[in-house]
Structure 1
Amino acid sequence: MKKISVLLLFVAFIVTAAFTSIAPTPYKIGDVATDFKLKSVDGKMYSMSYYKKAKGFIVVFTCNHCPFAKKYEDRINDLAKNYKSQGYILLAINPNDPEVEPDDSYELMQQRAKEKGFVFPYLLDEGQKIYPQYGATKTPHVFLLDKNRVVKYIGAIDDNVDSAAEVKVKYLENAIAALENGKNPSPEMTKAIGCSIKSKK
């Protein structure tokens, strides 16, 4: 009887393991990031492969409702404007499940993008398949990639959430400058400050 119980427990463990999804390992510096094909607020699908001549990509996980994300909206818009001419494409991704956070629905993303005059693709991570691959945990959370999608910097945009005027260290911009000079960013990673990503999981 004891052997049967042990066998049943073992079978139950195997079945459970087979149906339990393993969380992807968060990206480290030097990893090659996955591409994606996500719908933007303009109704079009976007992926990094679309930008054949890009020198790099600024992938920002952000959203509508988070107070931290809202404080960075204008800064993100300025980054998109300023660096597009230099060959760096900014792609913003909303990773939140709209059933968990209704303010982050696709329709409200469209409304927010129009209100704020976003000049970058604002994409919905429908089904929440992309943010776990990147290892994003906050909004906002930034990943700087080179033209080959190699991760060069991960973390915060700068060192002052509350005031763009009082920023002392522009982490992301410094990282881009390092790439432009053929160097590795320093620091390569900083702590992302923001709201947790909303998921039913």
Structure 2
Amino acid sequence: MLRLSRQLDYGKPAPAFALPDVTGKIREIGEFADKPALLVAFICNHCPFVLHILDGFIDFAREYEAKGLQVVAISSNWPDDYPDDDYPHMQKLAAERDFPFPYLHDEDQDVALAYNAICTPDFFLYDRDRLLYYAGQFDASRPKINRPPVPGLPPLRTDLPVTGEDMRRAVDALLAGDPAPQPQHPSAGCSIKWRPGKDPSWG
């Protein structure tokens, strides 16, 4: 199901996390305290919206690491209906694509709930004080998928290249000490796949 990011809690602190990466090492938000910017990205392995931007997102992460941005990717999907989202497949994808960022497994989905994540991809960019600065799309490019138009939503821009334009603009402004760019357009993607009984009212 297509979802749009919720874009809530601007100025609120980043929720803490302590999650295993694809090597089994527990990664915590505090270990990145020296970075002037932190981008927490909720992604998964199977989602066509994630796969559409993935190469561009990896290139972006490598480029902006040198500028002071720390990227952390988190997969929270319950894999019963989508086995490609399980932990072994996370390990495989991270190795195949040579992820330049930690890829964390949120098995109990508590971190996704704490961040108010709703879709993949869903992006949360935090400033040096770890206050939410930007919560919008990577860019306006969308994959070609078979689905009817959603009433009330604009058509997906499948004709656009993946550039990361919106995220680049946001990170550049943050690192320059400028206000967050406006408007912040929501990210669009597949709904997070919640455990039975875990899905929130807004999920």
Q: TM-score under structure 2 normalisation?
A: 0.80
Could you tell me which residue of structure 1 aligns to residue 153 of structure 2? Answer: none
Could you tell me which residue of structure 2 aligns to residue 38 of structure 1? Answer: 19
Structure 2 CA distance for partners of 1:188 and 1:47, relative to 1, 3 Å: farther
Moved over 3 A (4+): 162-165
Kept in 1: contact 2:60–2:164 (CA 8 A): no
Could you tell me which residue of structure 2 aligns to residue 92 of structure 1? Answer: 73
Structure 2, unaligned runs of 5 or more: 1-5, 144-157
Select the structure that is richer in helix: 1
Kept in 2: contact 1:58–1:89 (CA 8 A): yes
- CA offsets per residue over residues 123-142 of structure 1, 9 Å max, x none? 11120001111111110011
Structure 1, unaligned runs of 5 or more: 1-24
Helix, strand or coil at the partner of 2:135: strand
- What's the offset of the Cα at 1:165? 6.8
- What's the offset of the Cα at 1:159? 1.1
Q: TM-score under structure 1 normalisation?
A: 0.81
Asked if 1:170 is matched to 2:165, the reply is yes
Kept in 1: contact 2:74–2:104 (CA 8 A): yes
Structure 2 CA distance for partners of 1:168 and 1:80, relative to 1, 3 Å: closer
CA RMSD after TM alignment: 2.1
- CA offsets per residue over residues 55-98 of structure 1, 9 Å max, x none? 01011100001011111111221122111111110000001112
Asked if 1:142 is matched to 2:123, the reply is yes
The percent of aligned pairs where both chains have the same amino acid is: 34
Q: Matches of 2:33 and 2:168 in 1, distance apart?
A: 22
- What's the offset of the Cα at 1:188? 5.6
Q: Report the structure number with the largest CA radius of gyration.
A: 1
